[in-house]
A and B are shown apart, each in its own frame.
Chain A
Amino acid sequence: MKRFFADEKGVSLLFEYILFSLICIGFFMIVSVNSDEIFMHTPNEVVMENEMSDIGNMMSTMITDMYLILPANGRIDTEYNLPPKVGTETYIINADIAYTDQIIELVSSDSGKKIRVTIGGIATTMPINGTASSSSTNHMISYDSRR
């Protein structure tokens, strides 16, 4: 073992140069082929996962908060802001399946990624429906007791 560390002989300078170049070229090729996946797609996926569930929770919070203070006769509507893009993609908030599944769904329009958020069982007593696109300028949740 001591001899192994003390031994300073290796390959010739030329062969070492060739070996090193091959390793570097191979590494570079692998990285450049996968660069989109490594540097764009994976971080984007993580950001989208976080942001979409965050926005889904925002919708859920607003709907449950509104449900708590609904007037017996009358109406209430509230505007809210959405980030136009999560990561690099636009998305659609879909509450149409809330009636059966108690769920709000966020669907990314490009990659089709879906995030689902529950709304705490409100939809059994009150139908919730509608869709909102992140790219439209005005977003609103409305309630009217007469409808």
Chain B
Amino acid sequence: MGSLRKDTKGQWIALSGLVISLILIGLAVLANQAILAGYHSSNAALEFPKENIRELNLHTHDNARMIRSMSFYINSTTNETVPDAFDQLFDNYSIQMKKLYAVHGEVVDVSMVSINSTTGKYTMDDIDMVLVNITYDDGITHYVAEPELIEVNK
């Protein structure tokens, strides 16, 4: 042990060890700052349910068009009126959407307001617009469209 203490060779190795350790400390500090940067902005982009709301909206638009042609078909084969058939089909759609979104912990409500007919008759060409209330709530974001105007004769 005594000879180890008296041996003063290898000063440069000891010194370079010190320099390298200081560089490592500096890098560790910089790396820690880089981890913190951008947390909130990326979190906002991920957490905000933009796609969910857009999907709900697009889905409702698509389904309103589909329900329109289905209710005309029902009207032609049974003696149910077009608005009645429309209401029933839309209620079914609403119940399904509620269940689908409830699985993700989101509360949605899609309900019919009125069917717009330019002439007052409910033939294929007359129904041009459907008014629908859409609500979405995931506890943080509340979205209400009342009414959402859906052009169905496109």
Contact = CB atoms under 8 A, between A and B. Distances in A.
A and B physically associate: yes
Interface of A: 46-47, 50-51, 54-55, 57-62, 65-66, 68-69, 71-80, 83
B134 to A, nearest CB: 8
A51 B33 CA distance: 10
Contact of A54 (B41, B53, B134): B41
Interface string B48-82: 10100110010000000000000000000000000
A75 B141 contact: no
B44 A80 contact: yes
B147 A57 contact: no
Contacts of B37: 50, 54
A69 B53 CA distance: 7
B2 interface: no
Contacts of A58: 40-41, 43-44
A60 B44 CA distance: 9
Nearest to A55: B40
Contacts of A51: 36, 40
A61 B48 CA distance: 9
* Most interface-central of B54, B145, B146, B147 (chain A CB within 10 A): B145
B54 A76 contact: no
Interface of B: 33, 36-41, 43-45, 48, 50, 53-54, 57, 134, 140-149
Nearest to B43: A58
A72 B134 CA distance: 12
B48 A65 contact: yes
A60 B41 CA distance: 8
Contacts of A78: 48, 140-142
A99 B15 CA distance: 59
A59 B147 CA distance: 28
A51 B57 CA distance: 35
Given A58-B41, A61-B41, A76 B142 contact: yes
A54 B33 CA distance: 12
A77 B135 CA distance: 12
B142 A71 contact: no
